[in-house]
């Protein structure tokens, strides 16, 4: 009877230690504690996650003007124009450049672990959107239609 003990919830009945409901509750608490601890370890953010969040916002913000001008049939400056960033690129080039920015932004979004549960990642993401948007507005202020 080495594995049998008196169970406090079974009025002194000699049952296995693992069959006792009181012990099962304790073992569930231990398992859930370890699950929470492993989830916390997985959700800890490293410095490079925040960098990825910022640049995800920047790339996604940069996608908007290129894609919109491209699908509207307008020429727009891109890194592939001559001179880069000053001359005009074709609408097709801008659509492709916009979609490339979207793909890179999405990858960085996933690497940065941006989620609604982690408010700091969302904040850094939107700071990236804000910075790129302001930079683009300053860069293209002289471009008139």
Domain that holds residue 18: 4-43
Task: Tell me if 145 is assigned to some domain.
Answer: no
Task: Name the phi and psi angles at 83, rounded to 5.
Answer: -70, 155
CB 68 within 8 A of CB 124: no
Task: Tell me if 144 is assigned to some domain.
Answer: no
70 and 23 in a single domain? The answer is: no
Mean pLDDT score across all residues of the chain: 81
Residues 6+ apart with CB under 8 A from 64: 98
Task: Give the Cα separation of 49 and 123 in Å (integer).
Answer: 13
34 and 78 in a single domain? The answer is: no
Task: Give the Cα separation of 87 and 16 in Å (integer).
Answer: 80
What is the count of structural domains for the chain? 2
98 and 70 in a single domain? The answer is: yes
CB 99 within 8 A of CB 78: no
Task: Tell me if 87 is assigned to some domain.
Answer: yes
Nearest Cα residue to 61 out of 118, 145, 140, 117: 140
pLDDT on residue 143: 67
66 and 101 in a single domain? The answer is: yes
Residues 6+ apart with CB under 8 A from 140: 65, 77
pLDDT digits (tens, 9 = 90+) for 72-119: 999 999 999 888 878 899 999 999 999 999 999 999 999 999 988 888
37 and 10 in a single domain? The answer is: yes
26 and 91 in a single domain? The answer is: no
Task: Tell me if 84 is assigned to some domain.
Answer: yes
79 and 18 in a single domain? The answer is: no
- In this structure, of 4-13, 50-59, 64-73, the range with the lowest mean pLDDT score is 4-13
17 and 69 in a single domain? The answer is: no
Query: Is the per-residue pLDDT at 20 higher than 90?
Result: no
60 and 119 in a single domain? The answer is: yes
Task: Name the phi and psi angles at 6, rounded to 5.
Answer: -80, 130
64 and 123 in a single domain? The answer is: yes
Q: Which is more confidently placed, 145 or 36?
A: 36
Q: Which residue intervals of the chain are DSSP H helices?
A: 21-43, 47-71, 91-111, 119-139
53 and 25 in a single domain? The answer is: no
pLDDT on residue 27: 47
Q: Which two tokens stand for residue 83?
A: 């001179």
DSSP category for residue 1: -
17 and 75 in a single domain? The answer is: no
């Amino acid at each position: 009877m080495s594995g049998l003990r008196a169970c406090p919830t079974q009025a002194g009945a000699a049952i296995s230690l693992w069959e006792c409901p009181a012990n099962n509750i304790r073992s569930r608490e231990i398992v859930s504690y370890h699950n929470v601890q492993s989830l916390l370890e997985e959700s800890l953010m490293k410095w490079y996650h925040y960098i990825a969040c910022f640049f995800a916002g920047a790339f996604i913000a940069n996608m908007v003007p290129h894609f919109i001008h491209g699908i509207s049939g307008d020429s727009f400056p891109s890194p592939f124009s001559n001179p880069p960033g000053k001359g005009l690129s074709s609408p097709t080039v801008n659509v492709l450049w916009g979609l490339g920015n979207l793909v890179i932004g999405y990858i960085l979004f996933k690497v940065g672990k941006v989620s609604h549960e982690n408010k700091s990642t969302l904040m850094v993401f939107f700071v990236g959107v804000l910075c790129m948007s302001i930079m683009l507005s300053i860069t293209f202020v002289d471009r008139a239609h």
